[in-house]
Amino acid sequence: MLSHHTLQEQTFENLIQEARNQIPLYTKEWTNFNPSDPAETILENLSAFTILQQAYIDRMPEAVQEKLFAMAGFTRQKGRSARVLLEAKQVQEPVRIPAGQRFQVGDLFFETNREFPLWGNNLIGVYGKQGDTVADYSFVLDEDYPVDGVIFTEQPKAGMELYFLMDGIGEAGEEMIFHVRLAKEFRRNAFTGKNLFAEIQWQCYTEKGFVDIRCKDGTGSFLTSGELRFRLPKEEAAVYEGLPQRGYAIRGVLKRAEYDIPPKIAHLSGFLFEVWQKETKSICYTYGREQSIELFSDILEEGYVQIFCKEKKDTPYYLYQQAPPGAGKGRYYRLERLDYGIYRITFDADAFGFAPGSFENAVKLVGYSEEMMRQYDLGTIYGYDAQEIPLPVKHIVKDSFSVIAMRKNEVGETVYDFVKPDSEKENEFRYTLLENEGILRIEDAADFIDCKIFLGGCAVSQGPGGNIRAGSRFMPIGYDNGIWFENPAAGSGGCYPESIGEVRQRLIADLRKHYTAVEAEDYEELVRTTPELCIHKVKAVRDEVRNQIQVAVKPLSDQPFPKLSPIYQKAIRERLEQGRLLTVNIDVQQPVYVAVHVRGTIYVKPHYEGSREQIEAVIRRELDYISTERNFGERFHFDALFHQIEALPCVKYIYELSVTPQSLLYAAQKGLDIQPADNCLLYPGEIILELNTAE
């Protein structure tokens, strides 16, 4: 099933012929291939059965395939809305961003999932401190400032401190989100939580002095760009006066500092909050028993609201109506508009005789956009297998989705049930939501045959389209008070749900993957994917005599000739130990750098400017094994350099050219070529050229 060739594309005759061709490989006694032979009859029956069986396999429902893949440990990856951090600009006074607040950028919509307070606080300073020496890095708060902040200096040491200074701070226990953008991003492998290179203890200044606070560090102690999520302590924050300016302070103290690359900050932004790329078409709120419910949602401004209430626990919902003037007994509620998108719903059992019960999930409020109100009737459950009902939208956010089933109870009253996808509750119908296609597939109708179903909650997402670039301007929908918003980092995480075909491909790739290193390429892949390391080049070579794998590794660094630090060597050895064969020894080798000197006499054409610079640029490029993709032990071909120089428009002809390695210990002269050792990288050394003008 995983990687079969579809047999339906073969004819019965071709399949029979393939089987006959293989018979001599297994037996010499079968020599009669006439149709009258009983063995031929058996072969024909088996071939026909194979064709029929494969036809059923090819038509296997997705639900069955999904369960088979799940048994092998491969489940479909869910779709996710892109997540973006926003920074408020020009906040003059405290504002609360409500849950469900919508923002627009271009044709995309983003929404908050929870309420967030904007106090109007700002970062006013960033300082480094070592002993009594204070360094001012406040320029990293200016995104347009061209200088990068080398925090903790070029040689970070344990005990160094970094201060974020603010003109205000949130309430006790509140979460604060900052974002750090590094000046230069290196290709670093994923973090595993070990913190190989550094560890920072974060603290907040309070009336009791500095107290430790919790921090979810998405930067790996400034190894990569990311967010810092601080949880303020229960103690009240106080103004710190130990720096050139006063302010509320959060301090990071280096407990361990063994950085492979000293961190350089390009920009720091603070007091951020999260939004998610989605567009709510209809929203479903759930409340417990409350006499009065107050909520915010600008979708309610479109005026299409339905309220359902449970009057007894573990029973269906009843539909309540907005009370008309002079309403008597009945299932009614009062609706009051307080401000844009802000409404109050009130129940009055004394006046109307009915009200929701005193328990959780007693009230469901559903608000529709005008577009969805026209299409919220989804149809009828008929009860046949795998009934599919098309939905009015595609690319649905599954967690937001629900349907409302309308049916009659035992006494003939119209009642309603809210059902989520893949529900396992008793006495509920079960359905699967195909988010991408916008299809609802009924798996088990249960007792809901002939029931009508309506759209409940529904939001749509543009998946990877929500992973927008940094620096986009977001405008809030529903109010204009001069505040605008910007994202200091690109959106991330947005994706569509994985298809069954994509799950199949993942499983096939996993089956073909080597979990024990056998070939040299397996060892190279293990090193290349070592968590937290920046690996630029790696080459593994098998030494048959010593039964040894020699692995040369160059780390990615801004240093001219980087070496493997003890941390790198230990991490790589531990990584290789997990996958090596028991009888194989491993030798992790440091990179060796050998200069190659070039001498030559070249005749150039007259009137060409910059001839020397052009020729030297070609030589440096061809001999650069450090910054280019040329790998360890890769042979340097003299003729390639010769022809590259000869092809320059400014060159008439080459009279003399020679290349010589500085050391023959790691780079051997092979004729005119140079053969570096398996752990050697070449780089350009002295370039001595005599340029003559060709007449």
The whole-number mean pLDDT for each consecutive block of 10 residues of the chain, a chain of 695 residues, reads 50 82 81 83 85 69 79 87 92 83 92 87 92 90 74 87 93 93 89 86 95 94 94 94 94 93 91 94 86 81 91 92 92 89 89 91 92 93 91 93 94 94 85 92 91 95 94 86 89 91 87 78 92 94 86 92 94 89 87 96 90 95 94 95 94 93 93 95 95 79
Do the domain assignments include residue 579? yes
Same domain, 602 and 521: no
Burial class (CB in 10 A: 0-12, 13-18, 19+), 270: buried
In terms of residue numbers, what domain contains 310? Answer: 279-377+396-426+447-456
Place of tokens 């567009």: 279
User: What was the pLDDT predicted at 242?
Assistant: 92
Residues forming beta bridges with residue 306, ordered by sequence position: 366
Q: What is the pLDDT of residue 32?
A: 82
The residues pairing with 83 across neighbouring beta strands, listed in sequence order, are 276, 492
Number of C-beta neighbours around residue 381 at 10 A: 23
Distance CA 675, CA 463 (A): 50
Are 467 and 491 contacting, i.e. CB atoms less than 8 angstroms apart? yes
Residues 630 and 574 in one domain: no
Q: Are 511 and 536 in contact (CB under 8 A)?
A: no
* 388 domain-assigned: no
DSSP H or E run through 214 = strand 214-217
452 shares a domain with 312: yes
Q: Are 531 and 621 part of one and the same domain?
A: no
Q: Taking a C-beta distance cutoff of 8 angstroms, is the pair 562, 591 a contact?
A: yes
Phi, psi of 232 (to 5 degrees): -65, 150
- Reported residue count of the chain is 695
- The burial class, CB within 10 Å (0-12 / 13-18 / 19+), for 552 is buried
CA distance 19 to 300: 69
- 260 and 125 in a single domain? The answer is yes
Q: Are strands 548-555 and 585-589 parallel, antiparallel or unpaired?
A: parallel
CA distance 418 to 421: 10
Tokens 């051997």, residue?
Answer: 668
Q: What is the spatial distance between Cα 526 and Cα 148, in angstroms, rounded to a whole number?
A: 34
**536 and 596, same structural domain?**
no
Could you tell me if 290 and 372 lie in one domain?
A: yes
The CATH number of the domain where 226 resides is what? Answer: 2.60.120
Is 493 within a domain? Answer: no
- 3-class DSSP state for residue 8? helix
Within a domain: 530: yes
Same domain (yes/no): 187, 236: yes
Residue 16 is encoded by which pair of tokens? 């029979």
Q: Could you tell me if residue 100 is left (phi over 0), alpha (psi between -120 and 50 degrees) or otherwise beta?
A: left
Q: Which of 407, 436, 456 marks a domain boundary?
A: 456
| Cβ-proximal residues to 8 (8 Å cutoff; 6+ apart), any chain | 51, 54, 55, 58
Same domain, 212 and 342: no
Asked if residue 569 is part of any domain, the answer here is: yes
Structure tokens at 330: 């009945």
Give the residue from 22, 44, 59 where a domain finishes: 59
For residue 174 the two structure tokens come to 């509140």
The whole-number pLDDT of residue 143 equals 76
Q: In the chain, what is the straight-line distance between the N-terminal and C-terminal CA atoms, in Å?
A: 73
| Cα 371 to the center of its chain, rounded Å | 32
Its pTM stands at: 0.81
Pick from 113, 434, 97: which is nearest to 285 by CA? 113
187's tokens: 């290709």
Domain boundary among 270, 296, 326: 270
Task: Report yes or no on 411 lying in a domain.
Answer: yes
657, 624, 464, 456: which is closest to 554 by C-alpha?
A: 624
Which of 407, 429, 434 lies closest to 419 in space, CA to CA?
Answer: 429
Handedness of CA 329, 333, 334, 335 (dihedral sign): negative
- Helix H segments across 633-673? 638-646
CA-to-CA distance for 95 and 40, rounded, in angstroms?
Answer: 84
The tokens 């670039």 sit on which residue? 469
Residue 548 to residue 552: CA distance in whole angstroms: 13
Q: Cβ–Cβ contacts within 10 Å for residue 602, how many?
A: 23
DSSP secondary structure letters along 38-88: HHHHHHHHHHHHHHHHHHHHHT--HHHHHHHHHHTT--PPPPB--EEEEEE
Rg (CA), the chain: 35
Provide the pLDDT for residue 394.
94
pLDDT at 201: 95
Can you tell me which residue has the tokens 């200096």?
153
What contacts 170, CB < 8 A, 6 or more positions away?
Answer: 117, 119, 121, 176, 232
Q: Does any domain span residue 559?
A: yes
Residue 203 corresponds to which tokens in the numbers above?
């603290």
Q: How far apart are CA 646 and CA 504, in angstroms?
A: 52
Cα–Cα distances in Å, from 103 out to 293, 367, 470?
25, 19, 15
User: What whole-number distance in Å separates Cα of residue 324 and Cα of residue 411?
Assistant: 27
Identify whether residues 28 and 164 lie together within a single domain.
no
Cα separation, 547 vs 530, in Å, equals 23
Please tell me whether residues 125 and 263 are part of one structural domain. yes
The reported pLDDT for the residue numbered 693 is: 87
Task: Please tell me the distance from the alpha carbon of residue 479 to that of residue 526, in angstroms, as a whole number.
Answer: 53
In this prediction, residue 25 carries a pLDDT of 78
Residue 540 lies in a domain: yes
- As beta bridge partners, residue 404 has 418, 454
Whether 420 and 292 share a structural domain: yes
Three-state secondary structure string covering 127-152: EEEECCEEEECHHHHCCCCCCCECCC
- Distance of alpha carbon 506 from the chain centroid: 17
Give the chain's domain count. 5
